[in-house]
């Protein structure tokens, strides 16, 4: 039985349970908003300072870097009120620069893959930065995850959060148009983490922004997520070729390991031997959400760790959800808790438009034109 989260948080405060890795802060602070606190996290090779903001509200504790808008830590309580950091990350900037597989990062200008880094728009062909075999992945070699963002903290009523700004100049990584991006991270009084994305352009371009948090609701570094329970409200998915590029088909999940319409453990079918799983070394696919594009975020997925009782519910207005089961974590990365990350130690649930959409007319369009504003929102609701 899932407990009321506010009841758990209140119990934690009464018991004096404090954060495990945020250092500063108390259980009392966890039950109310706190103005974001800024501190120096490190320096880049050229001396540029990288800062970290820590904020709390409604029992959720969030740490964010201005490098790539990275979520460096996110803490929530379990059913007993004990906190754990449920997102993978590093404790130093050097590892984020040299090693990170997009841990916690903002992704752009185009989340996921574009085949051969090429697309045609209004009769003109564009060649993008290629960084994943022959393909462009997550914006190319220097995507939005590898830049300093301007950060503006805010408090608004009972909410606390950060406005993050980045301007991608015309031609950056091969994309046309100067794109002005704004991403807002908000912690609500109930502990929800909301992401609102906005962008404008001065030339026709394509854009697909998302967040690349790696989740382990048992706590980062605690081992496999194969016992996590997952449901996705999607009757179809987009199969891929050997390069993980969508073939263009919208295949039914019925009768396949990709059917998460009813809750099941991630490990139940992950070794079923389906050709799509063999190619991806697990799950690394886009689910076609039943609701399609909506005017406001609607619930599309629920993740639960039965051991801790922690749950994550995701609502979005986007048409797709990329479920990645941490297939390429190989034990060479050491995270914030001092543990190495191995295959299947975390998963990603990235709300998005479809991969390679610019090359598939039957996919929802990702074209943004001057005078238009790209807007999308995703809400993460935590429970225990």
Specify the 3-state DSSP secondary structure of 300.
strand
pLDDT at 9: 52
Between the alpha carbon of residue 159 and those of residues 63, 126, 182, 290, the distances in Å are 16, 41, 18, 31
pLDDT at 34: 77
Specify the 3-state DSSP secondary structure of 327.
coil
Task: In whole angstroms, give the CA distance from residue 152 to residue 25.
Answer: 21
pLDDT at 362: 98
pLDDT by 10s per residue, the chain, length 384: 445 555 555 454 444 433 333 433 333 344 456 789 999 999 999 999 999 999 999 999 999 999 999 999 999 999 999 999 999 999 999 999 999 899 999 999 999 999 999 999 999 999 999 999 999 999 999 999 999 999 999 999 999 999 999 999 999 999 999 999 999 999 999 999 999 999 999 999 999 999 999 999 999 999 999 999 999 999 999 999 999 999 999 999 999 999 999 999 999 999 999 999 999 999 999 999 999 999 999 999 999 999 999 999 999 999 999 999 999 999 999 999 999 999 999 999 999 999 999 999 999 999 999 999 999 999 999 999
165 catalytically annotated: no
Give the distance from CA 86 to its chain's centroid. 13
Quickly tell me which residue has 């929530």 as its tokens: 76
Longest CA–CA separation in the chain, Å: 65
Which entry of 350, 353, 360, 380 is annotated as an active-site residue?
Answer: 350
Please, is 153 exposed, middle or buried when counting C-beta atoms within 10 Å of its C-beta (0-12, 13-18, 19+)? middle
Between the alpha carbon of residue 69 and those of residues 66, 96, 181, 183, 220, the distances in Å are 5, 12, 12, 9, 19
Q: Give residues with Cβ within 8 angstroms of 62, minimum separation 6.
A: 54, 55, 56, 71, 73, 74, 75, 185, 187, 193
350 catalytically annotated: yes
Which entry of 212, 228, 285, 360 is annotated as an active-site residue?
Answer: 212
pLDDT at 6: 53
Q: Does pTM surpass 0.85?
A: yes
Closest by CA to 349, choosing from 117, 111, 140, is 111
Task: In whole angstroms, give the CA distance from residue 285 to residue 216.
Answer: 19
Asked if 96 contacts 67 with a C-beta cutoff of 8 angstroms, the reply is: yes
Structure-block tokens of residue 96: 């984020």
How much of the chain is helix, strand and coil, in % rounded to 5? Answer: 10, 40, 50
Give the distance from CA 182 to its chain's centroid. 16
Specify the 3-state DSSP secondary structure of 246.
strand
Between the alpha carbon of residue 2 and those of residues 14, 90, 219, 226, 319, the distances in Å are 20, 31, 18, 20, 28
Sheet of 311-316: strand order equals 150-156, 159-168, 179-187, 193-201, 374-383, 311-316, 298-304, 229-232, 264-265
Backbone φ and ψ of 61, nearest 5°:
-120, 125
pLDDT at 5: 56
pLDDT at 15: 40
Task: In whole angstroms, give the CA distance from residue 214 to residue 199.
Answer: 24
Quickly tell me which residue has 């299947």 as its tokens: 344
Asked if 56 contacts 161 with a C-beta cutoff of 8 angstroms, the reply is: no
């Amino acid at each position: 039985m899932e407990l009321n989260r506010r009841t758990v948080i209140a119990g934690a405060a009464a018991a004096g349970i404090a954060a495990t890795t945020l250092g500063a802060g108390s259980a009392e602070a966890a039950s109310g908003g706190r103005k974001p606190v800024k501190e120096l996290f490190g320096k880049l090779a050229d001396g540029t300072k990288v800062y970290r903001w820590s904020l709390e509200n409604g029992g959720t504790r969030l740490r964010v870097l201005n490098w790539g808008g990275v979520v460096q830590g996110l803490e929530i309580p379990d059913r007993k009120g004990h906190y754990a950091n449920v997102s993978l990350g590093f404790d130093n900037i050097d590892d984020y620069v040299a090693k990170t597989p997009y841990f916690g990062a903002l992704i752009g200008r185009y989340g996921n893959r574009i085949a051969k880094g090429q697309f045609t728009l209004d009769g003109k062909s564009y060649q993008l930065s290629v960084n994943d075999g022959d393909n462009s992945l997550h914006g190319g070699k220097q995507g939005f995850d590898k830049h300093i963002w301007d950060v503006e903290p805010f408090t608004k009523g009972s909410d606390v959060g950060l406005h993050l700004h980045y301007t991608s100049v015309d031609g950056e990584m091969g994309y046309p148009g100067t794109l002005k991006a704004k991403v807002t991270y908000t912690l609500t009084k109930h502990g929800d983490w909301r992401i609102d994305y906005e962008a404008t352009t001065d030339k026709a371009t394509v854009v697909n922004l998302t967040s690349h948090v790696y989740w382990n609701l048992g706590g980062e570094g605690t081992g496999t997520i194969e016992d996590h329970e997952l449901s996705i409200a999607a009757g179809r998915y987009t199969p891929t070729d050997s390069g993980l590029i969508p073939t263009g088909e919208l295949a039914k999940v019925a009768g396949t390991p990709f059917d998460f319409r009813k809750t099941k453990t991630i490990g139940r079918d992950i070794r079923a031997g389906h050709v799509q799983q063999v190619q991806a070394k697990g799950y690394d696919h886009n689910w076609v959400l039943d609701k399609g594009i909506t005017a406001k975020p609607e619930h599309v997925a629920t993740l639960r760790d039965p051991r801790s009782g922690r749950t994550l519910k995701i609502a979005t207005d986007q048409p797709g959800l990329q479920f990645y089961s941490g297939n390429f974590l190989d034990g060479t990365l050491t995270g914030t808790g001092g543990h190495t990350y191995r295959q299947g130690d975390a998963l990603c649930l990235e709300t998005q438009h479809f991969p390679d959409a610019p090359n598939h007319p039957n996919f929802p369009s990702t074209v943004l034109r001057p005078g238009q504003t790209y807007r999308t929102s995703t809400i993460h609701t935590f429970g225990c």
